[in-house]
């Protein structure tokens, strides 16, 4: 997943610079960053495993603290993939660079604003409700074939939704990285959206 995210972010960054990237261009950039991608994959998996192991051995308060550490880690490493793609830094240096970019652009003590995730959640909810309604009607009509077809439709619709959301997130991330490093807002985005991407905790 990180490999393909790196490829997509590379294409987005090239596009923001006025280029006309292809899938092959993105994959070539990801291949060039393969050592960094592998290093980041191992580091992020290791941190996740350590946090999970600690959480499983603690009481409620300790688990809450571990969750908060996990959230802080997620925010601090937000720009690691575009940094890997654009700057070619190693995993540890990318984490430091990501945290520094957040501090200098948005300030200290940040929380993310999840507008894109909220929109996706609403879409998922509507898909589930629509399919649930159709499933009930199929059950009332006692059509086994129709019920299985609706389940298959639900799986396909949710898969497409999550894939599209992931792609949109990577493009947004690339634009946010460009805004943070250059102050320039790519076409199709608003400066206010980027400025409000992170806010200080109250």
Distance CA 160, CA 61 (A): 38
Domain ranges within the chain, ordered by starting residue: 2-200
Closest CA to 177 of 94, 70, 102, 93: 102
Token look-up 């999970």 returns 52
Residue 172 backbone class (left: φ over 0; alpha: ψ -120 to 50; beta: rest)? alpha
10 has pLDDT over 80: yes
Q: What pLDDT, on a 0 to 100 scale, did the predictor assign at position 53?
A: 84
pLDDT, tens only, 145-199: 888 999 999 999 999 988 888 888 888 889 889 988 888 888 877 777 787 777 6
Question: 54 Cβ partners below 8 Å, 6+ apart?
Answer: 62, 66
Q: Across residues 30-59, what is the average pLDDT?
A: 89
Whether 7 contacts 166, CB under 8 Å:
no
Token look-up 């292809």 returns 22
106 has pLDDT over 70: yes
Whether 89 contacts 83, CB under 8 Å:
yes
- How many other CB atoms are there within 10 angstroms of residue 109's CB atom? 13
SS3 190: coil
Q: Does residue 45 or residue 200 have the better pLDDT?
A: 45
Helix (H) / strand (E) containing 26: helix 23-32
Q: What pLDDT, on a 0 to 100 scale, did the predictor assign at position 193?
A: 77
Q: What pLDDT, on a 0 to 100 scale, did the predictor assign at position 108?
A: 60
Full-model pTM: 0.75
């Amino acid at each position: 997943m990180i490999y393909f995210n790196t490829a997509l972010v590379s294409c987005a960054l090239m596009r923001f610079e006025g280029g006309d990237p292809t899938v092959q261009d993105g994959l070539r950039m990801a291949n060039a960053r393969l050592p960094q991608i592998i290093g980041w994959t191992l580091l992020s998996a290791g941190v996740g495993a350590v946090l999970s192991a600690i959480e499983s051995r603690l009481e409620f308060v300790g688990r809450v603290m571990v969750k908060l550490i996990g959230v802080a880690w997620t925010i601090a490493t937000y720009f690691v993939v575009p940094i890997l793609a654009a700057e070619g830094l190693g995993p540890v240096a990318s984490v430091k660079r990501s945290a520094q970019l957040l501090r200098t652009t948005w300030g200290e003590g940040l929380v993310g604003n999840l507008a894109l995730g909220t929109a996706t959640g609403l879409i998922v909810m509507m898909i589930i409700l629509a399919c649930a309604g159709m499933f009930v009607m199929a059950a009332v009509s006692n059509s086994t074939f129709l019920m299985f077809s609706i389940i298959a439709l639900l799986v396909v619709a949710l898969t497409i939704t999550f894939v599209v959301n992931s792609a949109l997130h990577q493009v947004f991330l690339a634009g946010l990285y460009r805004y943070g490093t250059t102050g320039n807002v790519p076409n199709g985005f608003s400066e206010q959206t980027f400025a409000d991407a992170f806010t200080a905790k109250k």
